[in-house]
Structure 1
Amino acid sequence: MDMALAMTFLQIARTRSFLRAAEQLHVTPTTVSARVRALESQLGRLLFVRNKAGAVLTPAGEQFVPHARLLVQVWERARHQVAVPAGRRAVLSVGCEVSLWDPLLLDWLLRMRSAAPHLAIRTEVQAPGELIEKVATGVLDIAVVYAPQQRPGLRVELLIEEKLVMVSTTPQPGLPNPQDYVYVDWGGEFALQHGMAFPALSNPGVSVGLGPLGREYLLAGGGSGYCRLEVVRGLLETGRLHRVAGAPEFLYPAYAVYAAEGEAAVVEPGLDGLRHVAGRRQHGAEVATPARAKRRARKSA
């Protein structure tokens, strides 16, 4: 089977729309319709019913979903393995949510360089929904996300429970001035807890949807907002930022998501590396890297 047919089918099943599937696949709606007709002809069954609301799977379409995912997963795995660089035995593909890559993914990459030199590493940073979909279809081996959705065939493992803490560019004895507050969007659960804790800050003048952007905005323009403790720990130690006394703290866990039937020889070294760097950070230990070793050497010289 042409993999484009299976991928198109899965995209329509996910979006429930031929038009949205065409947009996300970067093809024309005519191409999407032609692919569906070709797939239905090969299977001898109608897969979708189209109506004003979009596209609905038929019973045959529902039955074909897990088979299409398996086809795509096997194909992507084969494509990656064929492209293994010289001197490596396999390819490990890992994706990470934008707000979680720093410093977890960087520390993991440095760890894997010495812990699993036989693996070629490929990483990408994307939105959580796209990452989970790629794990489900075999494009990625592991995704590191916050608040993952449970899906059949996928395993979810807690890596680390980080804290979101309110910080300010100036020492503050109490809650911040709403005019100086920057709301950093850390997801739906945070929004709910934040709204209950700070009704007066529910409609701030500045809102940002990316943690690193919120942190840099605070450092450049001043004010208060919530940041990941592990990321701002150094800034707190140097006095560039200050924790707001009495402000509630919120948990911000990171999870590893991977296929239950994934290739253990490839996935397990990656998971072990993530557990290692997450465990060290959970206990407040700095992850050793060559750059940090050089900095320590310069300080002690």
Structure 2
Amino acid sequence: MDTELLRTFLEVGKTRHFGRAAESLYLTQSAVSFRIRQLESQLGSPLFSRQRGNVHLTPAGERLLPYAESILQTWGRARQDVSLSENYMEQISIGASAGIWELSGISDWINASHNTLPEVAFRIESVSRQDIVRALLEKSIDLALLGDPPKVEGFRLKQVASFEFKLIATQPDIKFSELPSIPLTYLDWSTRFSIEHARITELQKTPLLHASSSSVVVNFLSANQGMAYLPEPVVSKHIDSNKLFLVEDAPAMEQSLYLCWNEDNEKSNIISQLSEIPFELRTASDD
């Protein structure tokens, strides 16, 4: 299958408009329409409902979507692997959710990994929590950083860090008893975190913002009144600079960070070496 057909399908699916997709792909609208017809012919199913002013995916198109994304990601990785220069023996793909990549100290570990294995090329990818296990099973990533340890046969797991989530607010001297009157912002971090969050009665309300990125939550709180539980390696510098404030009598939530990989991966020797590299998250006071 021509990967350009899939790329065009994803762009039309994202824009819901053949004209805008054509502009993004630097094609004519007729070329975009022709590619979609080709793909539909190969699959034997219509992928888009083409009502005037309302282009949307059919059920068949919705089913194709994750496969198209996976195929293009795998194809891109294959091209990089094949074209590795003689200076590099192997490429390792590391996946994590956007929120985990924001933790202070992650970049230090990647730099240390490069220094320890200079003959390895690294590919860093953002993968949603829901897709991490599938990506490891399909080997579209070699190694994952995650907060929820998956219980999958054949997976190796190593705890590499622990840290706390702390409740912060946009105003100083907030007491725990005042929480029901303060707007809530929620960071979608892990299953364990969501369970612990749900146990706090004072936080059971509809959040003004629900996001998977710590920086998005911090930026939102910087412009609005409210509170949120955030990982200390992300929020400590904002507390130290008095931009956000700790709710002193609120309970802290212990969280862990794990490295996870598929034992069946042919790069397991390199992955094992990476798992031995010291991992240390940083807070503002550590800098």
Q: Provide the TM-score with structure 2 as the length reference.
A: 0.66
**What SS does the aligned partner of 1:140 have?**
coil
Tell me what 1:82 maps to: 82
Separation in structure 1 between the aligned mates of residue 269 and residue 78 of structure 2, nearest angstrom? 15
| Residues 1:25 and 2:67 aligned together | yes
Tell me what 2:250 maps to: 247
Q: Which runs of 5+ in 2 are unaligned?
A: 1-58
Alpha-carbon deviation of 1:108?
Answer: 2.4
- Pair 285,89 (structure 1): closer, same or farther in 2 beyond 3 Å: farther
Separation in structure 2 between the aligned mates of residue 113 and residue 23 of structure 1, nearest angstrom? 34
Query: For 1:19-168, what aligned pairs fall within 5 Å after superposition?
Result: 21-26=63-68, 81-103=81-103, 104-168=105-169
Separation in structure 2 between the aligned mates of residue 202 and residue 222 of structure 1, nearest angstrom? 17
Separation in structure 2 between the aligned mates of residue 155 and residue 77 of structure 1, nearest angstrom? 23
Q: Which runs of 5+ in 1 are unaligned?
A: 1-16, 28-72, 287-301
Alpha-carbon deviation of 1:81?
Answer: 4.3
Counterpart of 2:108, as a letter, is: D
Separation in structure 1 between the aligned mates of residue 245 and residue 165 of structure 2, nearest angstrom? 13
In the alignment, which of 202, 205, 208 is matched to residue 204 of structure 2? 202
Tell me what 2:274 maps to: 270
**What SS does the aligned partner of 1:95 have?**
strand
CA distances 1:177-222 after superposition (whole Å, capped 9, x unpaired): 534332333333323322222x233113413122321121112223
Separation in structure 1 between the aligned mates of residue 86 and residue 219 of structure 2, nearest angstrom? 40
Q: Give percent identity, aligned residues only.
A: 18
Alpha-carbon deviation of 1:26?
Answer: 3.2
- Pair 137,183 (structure 1): closer, same or farther in 2 beyond 3 Å: closer
CA contact (8 A) 1:167 1:226 kept: yes
Q: Provide the TM-score with structure 1 as the length reference.
A: 0.64
CA contact (8 A) 2:160 2:279 kept: no
CA distances 1:77-129 after superposition (whole Å, capped 9, x unpaired): 98764332341111111111221111343222222332321110101011123
- Pair 88,243 (structure 1): closer, same or farther in 2 beyond 3 Å: same
Query: For 1:182-201, what aligned pairs fall within 5 Å after superposition?
Result: 182-197=185-200, 199-201=201-203
CA contact (8 A) 2:180 2:202 kept: no
CA contact (8 A) 1:178 1:204 kept: no
- Pair 246,26 (structure 1): closer, same or farther in 2 beyond 3 Å: same
Give the helix-richer structure, 1 or 2.
1
Counterpart of 2:68, as a letter, is: H
CA distances 1:21-69 after superposition (whole Å, capped 9, x unpaired): 4332239xxxxxxxxxxxxxxxxxxxxxxxxxxxxxxxxxxxxxxxxxx
Tell me what 2:9 maps to: none
**What SS does the aligned partner of 1:277 have?**
coil
In the alignment, which of 200, 216, 219 is matched to residue 219 of structure 2? 216
Give the paired residue count: 219
In the alignment, which of 233, 237, 249 is matched to residue 234 of structure 1? 237
- Pair 205,118 (structure 1): closer, same or farther in 2 beyond 3 Å: closer
**What SS does the aligned partner of 1:26 have?**
helix
| Residues 1:170 and 2:174 aligned together | no
Counterpart of 2:129, as a letter, is: P
Tell me what 2:54 maps to: none
Counterpart of 1:248, as a letter, is: P
- Pair 215,144 (structure 1): closer, same or farther in 2 beyond 3 Å: same
Cα-Cα RMSD: 3.0
**What SS does the aligned partner of 2:159 have?**
strand
Counterpart of 2:206, as a letter, is: P
Alpha-carbon deviation of 1:227?
Answer: 0.6
Counterpart of 1:25, as a letter, is: Y
